[in-house]
Structure 1
Amino acid sequence: MRVPSPIGAWLDVLKMDQTCLKGLRAVVNPLARSQIDIALLFATRIMRLFAYGFLSVVLALYLEQVGLSEQAIGVLLTLTLVGDAGISLWITTSADRIGRRRMLVLGAALMILAGVVFISTGNPLVLTIAAILGVISPSGNEIGPFLSIEQAALSQLLPHQRRTQVFAWYNLVGSFATASGALSGGWLAHTLQGSGVSPLESYRVVLIGYALGGVALACSFLCLSPSVETTAHASPAHRTLGLHRSRQVVMKLSALFALDAFAGGFVVQSLLAYWFHITFGIDVGLLGSIFFGANILAGISALLAARIAARIGLINTMVFTHIPSNVLLCLVPLMPTLPLAIGVLLLRFSISQMDVPTRQSYTMAVVAPDERSAASGVTAIARSVGASLSPALSGLFLATPSLIGAPFLVAGGLKIVYDVLLYRSFRGLKSPEE
């Protein structure tokens, strides 16, 4: 039986509306899911960096309490970074093949493992093994496979024009989280000691918090959608460490980033805190406050980097903001009083992180989409390897009264060399948005 034409027309309209609604849902749902994934990646950054900062202020002090010398502390921190580099290399270069979410959860599990072992024993051998296999951050800064995989996922979820700005905010929230963690960890240990708890046990409480941070991190990674996984289907016949077309560029960047990280390893946050403690005799609560302020300033400097880069370019921003910060780093041990030393350190932190979001954005920009996890991973591993070699040398300097200021001078000088080499090598290679 034929439906009358007015009713048939309405049915046709309803069918069209349903078709349009399905099409709208197909567009809106992925967009909404992408926004949720971006929010989750920001949340995991905050949780992880809070945990890193929470532990970093007391880590060297804890190791001293369990009986390790300055040299042994430096060696253990070096082995921590070496182990992290090896494990992260495998995880990040396999993430696009095995699954980014799976590898992020695995990294969180290693973080939990390291925290639990450090809580459970003071045996130097066991601590060393846990440092090599687990994920412990002696600097308070990003380590492990997380950053590389998260950046690759964010770059996939974002248009080119927004990448540097979002990376700047990503680093800002990380710096605020590190700052809050350093403040919380330092004052928690200080408060516990003031209530009669031994220094060793107060530091163990901080380690428990670190392990719980790993649990929260793993749960959050499990909530990510398949949108964060790589969209590449065709795989080039020949890859090296997950790289193909961009191999030469990534290797050159990696060598330079390793030099920068080697320099930075002389002044990781745990050793900076220890230097202030043995030079000026300040307690752990004040140390937490100093590094809270330092990381807040570092986060703000990262946010300003996006605006500067939009005007002068990524490479210029990386170099021309980094050199002054390294000059200030060299000046810290030359200050005769605690207020002056703190003031110069804070001034240095206020411009020290402008190269970070620009460096990360530049690396993602100059490689193919299906190389992003690998490129970020390889450059991050190069940084980890570079950073892993210097804490042991810094420990030797700190154990020698006449060389106690040497870590600052060596770090600042090498970082300036890195800036000059980076500018000469890459000033002609622009990102797509430039």
Structure 2
Amino acid sequence: MRLLPDGTAPQARLLLFGRALRALVDGYVAVLLPAYLLALGLPTWQVGLLSTAALLGSALATLAVGAWGHRVDSRRLLLAAALLMTATGLAFAGLSAFWPLLLVAFVGTLNPSSGDVSVFLPLEHARLAHAAQGEARTALFARYSVAGALAAAIGALAAGVPDWLAAHAGIDMLLALRGMFVLYAVAGFGVWLLDLRLPHAHQTAQPPPAPLGPSRRQVVKLAALFSIDAFAGGLLVNALLALWLFQRFDLSPGAVGLFFSVAGLLAAASLLAAPHVARRIGLLNTMVFTHIPSSIFLMLAALAPSVSVALGLLLARAALSQMDVPTRSAYVMALVTPPERTAAASFTAVPRSLAAALGPTLAGAMLGAGWLALPLLACGALKIGYDLALLATFRRVRLPQ
């Protein structure tokens, strides 16, 4: 399979490489973040609160991009975001107290979830949407998601590096964990080098972006529904799923990283299949009818009697749960007019991030109180409700493209 679909602008290649590099470090950070915070002596509820701060900060930054980003060259914003990523990694590597870490999590680019919730998302989505048309756009978004999933799967394996360094090289575990955040900063600089090669907005064939106009009503509906899904997902971001596995089955960071790596590979395979499924049954049906079974698997995992059964159910969930990601992005981009795409990407992402930000604190409190099954059960039930509401609201809406 070629990296880019036929008829795709060459700049998309840089965006795919940048997405992969960010996902590579996000893959291990989501696993090591709770281990790092616990090693610093922070309680479980503060792990959840810090994850909430990271998601809330990303939501506000994304809102700013949606409101004022169309006035600034997206290349400049991407370069600034990459430098912020570098600063975030260095700050996390050097700080130990909760309140400074909370501040960095809020203003930085740390990603405790399985998806991309950073300020990079709307900027890259808008450029991708202009880089291809029709079915090629869906295929491009799938490749973008696959690049992230594969890189995150490889990165999750790196979660075992601090354990290995502590056991075989005699390096202090906390020092090894700090070193992983330094690598995160290095990756941010690599993303900056990639974005430096992007053309300026006036050099592309894309029309000038603008705030929402004729598609506002549909985008508001989507944003409201997406927020339900995101709130549910916030109850079980990867950092908290890792924490759940630590607490429920006493797994090591290396073992949890291996699980996330396998789950990421399954997700990548499903992302490759998503455009083919969407071509047969449509974007909306693909979003809904792959999502519901994955939520059922999650709820069953919450009640699993053993670690092998729980991991098996969670892997089955991973094989389906991400198929809605490229189809959702393509659906939003196809539903709105081309000048509205940057704003639509931002204004559907912002409620998701805001809603998702509420979940980690609640889930951290549930886990801290010993209600280990509740975050998984609540997440699955809410996601099923979202899928049914999405289908009922948009099943009669015809896409312009």
Residue 70 of structure 1, aligned match among 24, 29, 44: 44
Residue 187 of structure 1, aligned match among 141, 154, 160: 160
Distance 1:248 1:33, change over 3 A: closer
Distance 1:347 1:244, change over 3 A: same
What are the within-5 Å matches in structure 2 for residues 234-313 of structure 1? Answer: 242-313=211-282
Distance 1:274 1:261 in 2: 19
**1:406 paired to 2:374:** yes
Aligned to 2:73: 99
Aligned to 1:339: 308
Structure 1 gaps of 5+ residues are 1-30, 236-241
**Structure 1 residue identity aligned to 2:384:** I
Cα drift, residue 233 of structure 1? 4.8
Checking the alignment, whether the CA contact within 8 Å between 1:264 and 1:411 is kept in structure 2 is: yes
Aligned to 2:399: 431
Residue 350 of structure 1, aligned match among 297, 302, 319: 319
Aligned to 2:284: 315
Bigger shift: 100-109 or 386-395?
100-109
With structure 2 as the length reference, what TM-score do the two structures score? 0.95
Distance 2:215 2:302 in 1: 41
Checking the alignment, whether the CA contact within 8 Å between 2:7 and 2:132 is kept in structure 1 is: no
Aligned to 1:418: 386
Checking the alignment, whether the CA contact within 8 Å between 2:209 and 2:340 is kept in structure 1 is: no
Aligned to 2:103: 129
Distance 1:376 1:313 in 2: 20
**1:111 paired to 2:72:** no
**Structure 1 residue identity aligned to 2:166:** Q
The residue matched to 1:267 in structure 2 has which SS? coil
**Structure 2 residue identity aligned to 1:306:** P
**Structure 1 residue identity aligned to 2:157:** L
Aligned to 1:146: 120
Bigger shift: 332-341 or 31-40?
31-40
Checking the alignment, whether the CA contact within 8 Å between 2:6 and 2:136 is kept in structure 1 is: no
**Structure 2 residue identity aligned to 1:121:** L
Instruction: Spell out, residue by residue over 1:89-111, the C-alpha distance to the aligned partner (whole angstroms, 9 max, x if none).
Output: 11244333201111111111221
**1:232 paired to 2:236:** no
Cα drift, residue 73 of structure 1? 1.1
**1:367 paired to 2:336:** yes
**Structure 2 residue identity aligned to 1:294:** A
Aligned to 2:179: 205
Aligned to 1:19: none
Aligned to 2:134: 160
Checking the alignment, whether the CA contact within 8 Å between 1:71 and 1:399 is kept in structure 2 is: yes
Structure 2 gaps of 5+ residues are none
Checking the alignment, whether the CA contact within 8 Å between 2:62 and 2:122 is kept in structure 1 is: no
Cα drift, residue 145 of structure 1? 1.7
The residue matched to 1:149 in structure 2 has which SS? helix
Cα drift, residue 35 of structure 1? 4.1
Distance 1:72 1:406, change over 3 A: same
Distance 1:197 1:243, change over 3 A: same
**1:86 paired to 2:60:** yes
Cα drift, residue 141 of structure 1? 2.3
Checking the alignment, whether the CA contact within 8 Å between 1:92 and 1:145 is kept in structure 2 is: no
Q: When the two structures are aligned, how many residues end up with a matched partner?
A: 395
**Structure 1 residue identity aligned to 2:382:** L
The residue matched to 1:224 in structure 2 has which SS? coil
Cα drift, residue 199 of structure 1? 2.1
With structure 1 as the length reference, what TM-score do the two structures score? 0.88
Question: Which structure's CA Rg is the greater one?
Answer: 1
The residue matched to 2:115 in structure 1 has which SS? coil
**Structure 2 residue identity aligned to 1:202:** A
Distance 1:71 1:229 in 2: 47
**1:392 paired to 2:354:** no
Distance 1:298 1:368, change over 3 A: same
Cα drift, residue 281 of structure 1? 1.1
The residue matched to 2:360 in structure 1 has which SS? helix
Residue 48 of structure 1, aligned match among 22, 32, 38: 22
The residue matched to 2:355 in structure 1 has which SS? helix
**Structure 1 residue identity aligned to 2:225:** L
Checking the alignment, whether the CA contact within 8 Å between 1:51 and 1:181 is kept in structure 2 is: yes
Distance 1:427 1:230 in 2: 33
Cα drift, residue 306 of structure 1? 0.7
Cα drift, residue 197 of structure 1? 1.9
Cα drift, residue 294 of structure 1? 0.4
Checking the alignment, whether the CA contact within 8 Å between 1:257 and 1:379 is kept in structure 2 is: yes
Distance 1:338 1:217, change over 3 A: same
